[in-house]
Amino acid sequence: MSYQEEFRNALSIESLKQDLLRTAYDNEGTIFNRLDPRVLLTWYAAFLVIPWLFYDMRILGGLLTFVSVLAVVSRVSKYLIALLAFGVITNVLLYAFVTVLMGGSFVQSAMALVPYTTKLTIISVTSIAVFSGMSPKNISRAFMSIGIPRQFTFAISYGYRMLPVLIEEYHETVNVYRLRSRAPESPGRFKWRYYVYLIRLSIRAFYPMIFDVAKRSRVTVEALETRGFSHSLENDKSRELQLGDLRVGQFDVLFMGGSLIVIVGIILPFV
Amino acid sequence: MSEMATENTSWFSFGQRDMTVFIFVMSLSGLQYAITEVLPEFDVGPLELGVGDFIFIPIVLVLLFRTFWAALAVPMGEVVFEDILLGDFNGLGVMEDLLLVSTCFFFAALLFQDPKNRRQLAAVVLIAEGLNEFIAMFVDIGKVYIGVEELEAVPGLPESILVLEGVDFITQMVITGIIFGVIPALYLYPKLHGKIEPLMGMEPYNGTRGASMLRGFSWKAALSVLIAFPLAFGFAAAEESGFGLNIVWEPEFLDAYGETFIAAPIIVAALVAVVLWQRAKHST
């Protein structure tokens, strides 16, 4: 494997990592983050239901366009969208292909699957747009406001802070293991020896990670308890304090009204 | 409060030690899910080829700590790190993972009686992954049956769904279950056993030398798997067929009642939205 190629690989992993981290963290100023989280959750719940009410592909296509525009506006990772699109297309094609093997018709089965897949895609795009456009702080406040246990909402904000640290640490551990070990002399056919080597490396790199994370979790719980975490779980006042500054403002009303008008505009011409 | 959390009686008590274990298992399984999300993988339709999940991480940790909370932390790691932070969240569908993974892993962990027995270790890892995938396969098939209207009318389509899900189950068992499950678990479990538990302030699990797996069979745990199955299916079906609206709303139904009737669900959806909104406002 040439140096150049290796460098390109590292580059792409690096850019992938950045793309994903941007998805998780760069949500300042997106529309969804400016909305009141409870309003957004209501809007999301409505969108879980609406696509199931229609069979007309023109309406479904319109809805898909609408949520796609929202996804673009809220700066969703291109990588995630590409993965989703690839999955959707191959899903229909593969089912249709196997149907042919079973003695059925390709077009007929693809046609039967398309509306269902479109509906699922609308919902997936909505989910990606909403949950990557919202900051984790707002996500956990949204869940807290509908009465989901604090342990769960805490896990979200904890993961939010830990994810970059953990990924960075793991990446470094893998690199250390690579420095200390020797890549296989000959990569073999399809470079299989090289890939086996990489996989073994990434598995073994978890061993030191486990001890690091163990220590970190202990410190976290100790710090939490020093600040009275378990005590605050049963205390209504702390909940009120965390949710106190949520307000439904003009922007929320405008957003809900605007969405309603757009959806009616999509549906009415075809009813 | 939580002395030996391996006791059956303290399944649901949640002490500080459980909290530490929960955060620990959640972070590591979450990291594992986040990394395998980034690694190259081909999702050709329902088939997942390539590096799947590093399932050995969560299963080894659950086998070491043997509490329900450790098992619940595994799907939580997936939900928080992979779904919410990376934006791959799918609403009620996450309940399927929460219910199935936690109950299947816990059931398998209780079967593990002799930590020194490598054959038992391999069997338990396969049971945990196999049970989970097997039930998930039925949930997947059921979802498509509910979601696709006139499925039976297209010749060959129902069979192709069965075939593809079956092939997916087999590839999953080979790739995730054996290559990234049993083999690394056989290496990792003995290395961690007795070292990581004291760090968490827990006694290592010694089990009984030569005990059979049947001793660990718990009716309660088996029952929880059986209850989790229909519940998971219910949530998955709600998510992927719009709470059953899909069935009621078939074209024949429309022909019978006229197309103006289409306004009704929109009004219902709007009403539900308003009620939810009001409730959310009141709860502050």
pLDDT tens for each residue of A116-127: 888 888 888 888
Q: What is the ipTM of this complex?
A: 0.79
pLDDT digits (tens, 9 = 90+) for A77-103: 777 777 778 878 887 888 888 888 877
Using pLDDT thresholds of 50, 70 and 90, give the confidence band for residue B91: low
pLDDT interval class at B9 (50, 70, 90): very low
Lowest mean pLDDT among A52-66, A125-139, B247-261: B247-261
Q: What is the CA radius of gyration of chain B?
A: 22
Tell me which chain A residues have a C-beta less than 8 angstroms from the C-beta of B89. Answer: 127-128, 130-131
B146 in the same domain as B163: yes
Is residue B3 in a domain?
Answer: no
Closest alpha carbon within chain A to B61 = A210
| Pair (B14, B134) in one structural domain | yes
Ranges A8-12, A31-35, B103-107: which has the least confidence: A8-12
Chain A residue nearest residue B22, CA to CA: A217
In total, how many domains does chain B have? 2
Specify the pLDDT at position B269.
60
**Residue B32 lies inside a defined structural domain of this protein:** yes
Query: Is B1 within the bounds of a domain?
Result: no
Of A90-104, A251-265, B228-242, B247-261, which range is least confident? B247-261
| Domain positions in chain A | 14-134+247-271, 149-234
CA distances B141 to B90, B145, B157, B164, Å, are 18, 6, 12, 10
Please name the member of B37, B84, B164 whose beta carbon is closest to the beta carbon of A98. B164
Q: Is residue A33 pLDDT above 90, yes or no?
A: no
Task: Give the per-residue pLDDT at B64.
Answer: 93
What are residue B43's DSSP bridge partners? B48
Mind listing the pLDDT tens digit for each residue in B16-56? Answer: 778 888 889 999 998 888 877 766 555 555 666 666 788 99
- Does A47 contact B at CB distance below 8 Å? no
Long-range contacts of A187-191 (CB under 8 A, 24+ apart): A187/A1, A191/A1
Q: Is the same domain home to B146 and B276? A: no
Residue range of the domain that includes B269: 249-284
Say yes or no: B145 and B209 in one domain.
Answer: yes
Give B210's pLDDT tier (boundaries 50, 70, 90).
confident
Q: Are B151 and B256 contained in the same domain? A: no
Domain identity same for B257 and B233: no
| Whether residue B222 sits in one domain with residue B284 | no
With a pLDDT cut of 70, the percent of chain B lying above it is: 69
- Residue B194, Ramachandran bin (φ over 0: left; ψ between -120 and 50: alpha; else beta): left
B278 shares a domain with B206: no
Cβ atoms of B142 and B239 within 8 Å: the answer is no
Q: Do B263 and B141 belong to one domain?
A: no
Q: Which pLDDT score is estimated for B282? A: 60
Q: What is the pTM of this model?
A: 0.79
Please check whether residues B243 and B260 belong to one and the same domain: no
Judgement on whether residues B48 and B150 belong to the same structural domain of the protein? yes
Whether residues B261 and B158 share a domain: the answer is no
In a domain, B2, yes or no: no
| pLDDT over 70 at B249, yes or no | no
Higher pLDDT, residue A8 or A21: A21
- The pair of structure tokens assigned to B264 is 């009704």
Amino acid in the structure at residue B55:
I
Range with top average pLDDT, A86-100, A103-117, A207-221: A207-221
pLDDT number for residue B2: 38
Tell me the residue type at A235: N
Q: Inter-chain contact B89–A127, Cβ cutoff 8 Å?
A: yes
